[in-house]
């Protein structure tokens, strides 16, 4: 099969022929119809996040496609079934796994980020059928739901107790995950949303998607303007889809007492929180990791019902994967770029 493999940190992916995997007992082989190119993969390829236990490795943790072959004992899917693939694979036995939080497993085996190859290839070997969610959606739409929608969904669902109708939410960064974050806030919460981004184009998208207030990240009066539209109080829940020093500092400073800051983006930033200095009392901080299998089912149900509409998708063949990397890094992808290995 054709696959895009990462051989070394800091180098381009290599599109080459590799053996097609054969599913063992309990495993399922998926023909990859869509593999979303995630911003996290840029951090991995560039060597900023060095978590890969082996190289070369096929990256790609946002996958959907059709069941191509089944190992012995697989009973919940049939050949040809269209599925979205949950990517937060775990051991299945630790406390996190047995309570449904498999993405938080003590020994994670995530698709395309562990010993297991990911979906930037014609076929993807999935270690267990429980990771498959059947769907009527086009795999190019379904693939980004498994991360770009699932991760903001979990962050927002866990922050809903902080978002009453007279409260305000803050979204920082309107890339693929931020756009799903804004859309999900509009579906799940009844409060106004402030969006901050560096690009004018992204602020225009935010207005189109119903954000009540949009501010440029370059605005010197940014924090004062956020306070002004929240009657001087600040926001009740901030969602940082960037995760840089600057954006984390903004999220903390903008959040009012009893509020919550959720970090979703992994740009490598850090911030300190000191009460009576840069943060209010009883502010909670949480770095969200992905979502659960059940939450993926919920996200897919939201899109299948029409309640949640997909973000813009750009399709790209496997051979163009390094161009996709470069365009995403330059901020030129409008919603999500999805690789289509089996097209
Ligand atoms: Zn991702
Ligand atoms: Zn586990």
Burial class of residue 286 in the structure, from the number of CB atoms within 10 Å of its CB (0-12 exposed, 13-18 middle, 19+ buried): middle
* Ion ligand 2, residue ranges at CB < 5 A: 90-91, 94, 97, 105
User: How many angstroms is it from 27 CA to the middle of ligand 2?
Assistant: 17
For the CA of 89, the nearest ligand: 2
CA-based torsion, 63, 67, 69, 71: positive or negative: positive
Strands 132-134 and 63-70 come out as: unpaired
At 183 the pLDDT is 98
Using CA atoms, how far residue 334 sits from 36, 65, 308, 328, in Å, is 13, 23, 18, 9
3-state secondary structure of 69: strand
SS3 117: coil
Radius of gyration of the chain (CA): 20
Measured between alpha carbons, how far is 258 from 279 in angstroms, rounded to an integer?
11
- What local confidence, expressed as pLDDT, does residue 343 receive? 79
Cα 89 to averaged position of ligand 2 atoms, centre (Å) = 8
DSSP 40: H
Structure tokens at 332: 């030129």
Sign of the CA dihedral 315, 320, 321, 322? negative
**Cis before 56? omega within 30:** yes
Q: Which two structure tokens, joined as six digits, stand for 111?
A: 């698709």
Q: How far is the CA of 101 from the centre of ligand 2 (A)?
A: 8
pLDDT of 322 reads: 98
| CA-based nearest residue to 340, from 36, 79, 132, 16 | 36
What is the CB neighbour count within 10 angstroms for residue 156? 26
Name the burial class of residue 317, with classes exposed (0-12), middle (13-18) and buried (19+) by CB atoms within 10 angstroms of its CB: middle
**pLDDT score of 178:** 97
pLDDT mean for each 10 residues of the chain (343 residues): 98 98 98 96 94 97 98 98 98 97 97 97 98 98 98 98 97 96 97 97 97 97 98 97 97 98 94 95 97 98 98 97 96 93 89
């Amino acid at each position: 099969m054709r696959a895009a493999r990462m051989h070394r940190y800091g180098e381009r992916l290599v599109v080459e022929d590799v053996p097609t995997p054969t599913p063992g007992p309990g495993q399922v082989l998926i023909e990859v119809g869509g593999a979303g190119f995630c911003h996290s993969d840029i951090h991995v390829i560039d060597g900023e996040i060095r978590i890969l236990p082996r190289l070369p490795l096929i990256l790609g943790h946002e996958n959907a496609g059709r069941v191509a072959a089944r190992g012995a004992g697989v009973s919940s899917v049939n050949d040809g079934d269209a599925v979205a693939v949950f990517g937060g694979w775990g051991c299945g036995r630790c406390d996190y796994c047995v309570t449904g939080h498999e993405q938080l497993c003590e020994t994670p085996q995530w698709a395309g980020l562990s010993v297991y190859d990911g979906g930037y290839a014609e076929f993807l070997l999935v270690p267990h059928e429980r990771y498959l969610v059947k769907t009527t959606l086009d795999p190019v739409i379904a693939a980004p739901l498994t991360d770009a929608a699932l991760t903001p969904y979990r962050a927002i669902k866990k922050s809903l107790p902080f978002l009453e109708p007279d409260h305000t939410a803050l979204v920082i960064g309107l890339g693929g995950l931020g756009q799903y974050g804004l859309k999900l806030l509009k579906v799940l919460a009844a409060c106004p949303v402030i969006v901050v981004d560096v690009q004018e184009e992204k602020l225009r998208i935010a207005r189109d998607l119903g954000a009540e207030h949009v501010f440029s990240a370059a605005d010197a009066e940014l924090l004062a303007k956020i306070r002004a539209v929240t009657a001087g109080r600040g926001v009740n829940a901030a969602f940082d889809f960037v995760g840089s020093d600057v954006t984390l500092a903004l999220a903390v400073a903008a959040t009012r007492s009893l509020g919550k800051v959720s970090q979703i983006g992994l740009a490598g930033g850090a911030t300190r929180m000191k009460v009576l200095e840069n943060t209010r009392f009883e502010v909670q901080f949480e770095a969200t990791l992905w979502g659960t299998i059940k939450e993926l089912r919920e996200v897919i149900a939201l899109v299948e019902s029409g309640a949640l509409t997909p973000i813009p998708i750009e399709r790209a063949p496997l051979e163009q994967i390094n161009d996709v990397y470069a365009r995403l890094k330059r901020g030129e992808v409008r919603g999500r770029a999805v690789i289509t290995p089996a097209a």
